[in-house]
A and B are shown apart, each in its own frame.
Chain A
Amino acid sequence: MTTGRKSASKIAGSVKKAENRKGDVLQLVQAEPRPASTDHEVTTVPDTTGQQGDNDKSGSDLQGTAGRPFWSGSITIGLVNVPVHLHTMVRDKSFSFRLLHREDGQPLRYDRVCTRDGRVVPWSETVKGFEVQKGEYIVIEPSDLKAIAPVSDRKIRIEKFVYSLSLDPVHFGTPYILTPDRSEEAYSLLRTALVDLARAAVGTITLRTKEYPVVVHGYRGGLILTTLRYANEVTSPEAFEAIIKLPVPREAELGLAKRIITDLSGDFSIADYHDTYRDAVEQLVKKKLAGEKIVYEIPHPEEAKELMQALKETLAALSEK
């Protein structure tokens, strides 16, 4: 669990060595919480932990496996520090395909091409631009961004504690698992106190170049950190006129609707749901690997034969009229 931990990370606010930083940044790119306008969508985190498979399930409905930390720092409450590691908690399990050249089967790559002369531009000749109006950009130098970037001081700064249930789940972004960094006692103390009081800690974290509001709360024996979305990133249903103008349901209909809902009520288990498309793609890949011929089932002609006969007769009858 603690592999990859840097010796300096335990001391709050310590400055990292350059070669360590590089490795850290690389990992961050892989597991970064997805910003709204990502241009480098990362769909899979390489599984370097060797913990594939289901041997780690222990009967839980959540079936992901433990991985390495990608960030280390501390939870800071006033003068108290609790050193922690941050681990990825959710992984997108959707498939991504690689685009190939049909002729020779070679993978294609994307190039940065100048829109004026169609020439491929090397990274060294690029600079960031911000579109102020259509077709008009101002150039932003790396130094400009560096000057305003939030200081990544390896702290999860807790500002206050709120009731867990007072948080609106629509603001929840990506959850991460916090593990103690040789701070088992302090970690356990914080977790137990939060759970006993049904409170969650609210504060901020800086991941790479972005500062996120976060909430830290107890979950299944551990602490998890969830990034929060800013108020202007979330649309309220009240922004829709159709919703403001909804009619008040009638008493009798409401009673009936409630009865139906009550009748259909049950316990939620995410394990009831499966990504059938993913399963099908996996099957497809397996078969192709085994050199099997793929037979596609098109669910149509045979069973519809009787309908076609009926259609012929009806069309004939209709055209007589």
Chain B
Amino acid sequence: MTGTGTPGQGGDPDKALSRVHFTNLKKILYPVPGITKQQVIEYYIRAAPKILPFLKNRPLTMHRYPDGVGNFDFYEKDAPEGTPGYVEIFPRYSDTANRQVDFVVCNNLDTLLWLANLASLELHMTLSTTGSYESPDILLFDIDPEPPLTFDEVIRVAHIVREHLGNEGLVPYVKTSGKKGLHIVVPLAPGHRFDTVRAFAHGVGKALAKNTPHVVSEFPHSRDPGTIFIDYLQNAHGKTMVAPYSLRGSPMATVSAPLNWEELVPGRIAEDFTIMTMLSRDTEPWRGIFDNRQKISI
């Protein structure tokens, strides 16, 4: 990360800082608050020390907004044409695409900035790493409210999930999705399988659905009005989660923000954490979560 590989530090020192050639810096990517691509890149530069440890060795799905939020956007799994040499590639057969996909892996600062320059506002990462792609190292509960329920109800349910996991001896972590809901994760020790992890997450949902108002555990009910679905289905090979500290393609430039459980109080909203506010937070609630890898069993 430190060696940007450019020789000649005796010359213009700025030249050696990054291999990324930034383009269209004045382009507005968030029209509502008027955020330019330059500001997006600056955000990712400053957030890099926090976000890079999470992205490390994880195949990415890019969610690109070339003309800004509100205009045409698309998901991209393949390294696009002209991908520079410093970007690591993970070639892998994709079941959903039904062909080999050259996934981008963001293992250095330049790659992150290259992604930002592509207007890949959102970075979605797999729940396993390239070294053991079939074995998840993150358990994910994705909790979203269906109207008329709001973020406050999601917060209430998240605390119930935390309590339930705590009773099983697990220490979960929480972040905003940056959109409607919350993500609760448990970092996993090596050796887990996607099917057991998924079954475990499903089991938690089923247990909570029994005696918690609004909570549903089954996918067919996930869109019923006035429900909160505990989504366990993301715990699967090739599925992704928006990375912590990733921007979202939302009007207000929200961020998927790692939180301390104490911060998760009624009245809290996703828009509390945006490109403007995120960097001034003096807390890093997910720092070192992979030092606390846990085991689950059914």
Residues of chain A at the chain B interface (Cβ within 8 Å): 242, 245, 247, 299-301, 303-308, 310-315, 317-319, 321
Contacts and interface: CB of A to CB of B under 8 A. Distances in A.
A306 B41 CA distance: 10
A301 B18 CA distance: 13
B281 interface: no
A313 B49 CA distance: 10
B99 A242 contact: yes
A306 B42 contact: yes
Given A303-B25, A304-B25, A321-B49, A315 B109 contact: yes
Given A312-B17, A318-B48, 19 more contacts: A245-B98, A245-B99, A304-B25, A305-B14, A306-B38, A307-B22, A307-B25, A308-B14, A310-B46, A311-B45, A314-B45, A314-B49, A314-B109, A315-B2, A315-B4, A315-B17, A317-B49, A318-B52, A319-B2
Contacts of B99: 242, 245
Tell me the dominant secondary structure on chain A's binding face. helix
B14 A313 contact: no
Contacts of A301: 14
Nearest to B4: A315
23 contacts: A245-B98, A245-B99, A300-B21, A300-B22, A303-B25, A306-B42, A310-B42, A310-B45, A311-B17, A311-B45, A313-B46, A314-B45, A314-B46, A314-B48, A314-B109, A315-B1, A315-B4, A315-B17, A315-B109, A317-B49, A318-B1, A318-B49, A318-B109
Given A247-B98, A318-B2, A304 B46 contact: no
Contacts of B18: 311
Contacts of A318: 1-2, 48-49, 52, 109
Contacts of A312: 17
B24 to A, nearest CB: 8
B38 A303 contact: yes
Nearest to B23: A299
Contacts, number: 53
Interface in B29-49: 38, 41-42, 45-46, 48-49
Nearest to A246: B98
Nearest to A321: B49
Contact of A307 (B23, B42, B48): B42
Most buried by B among A247, A308, A312, A317: A308
Contacts of B42: 306-307, 310
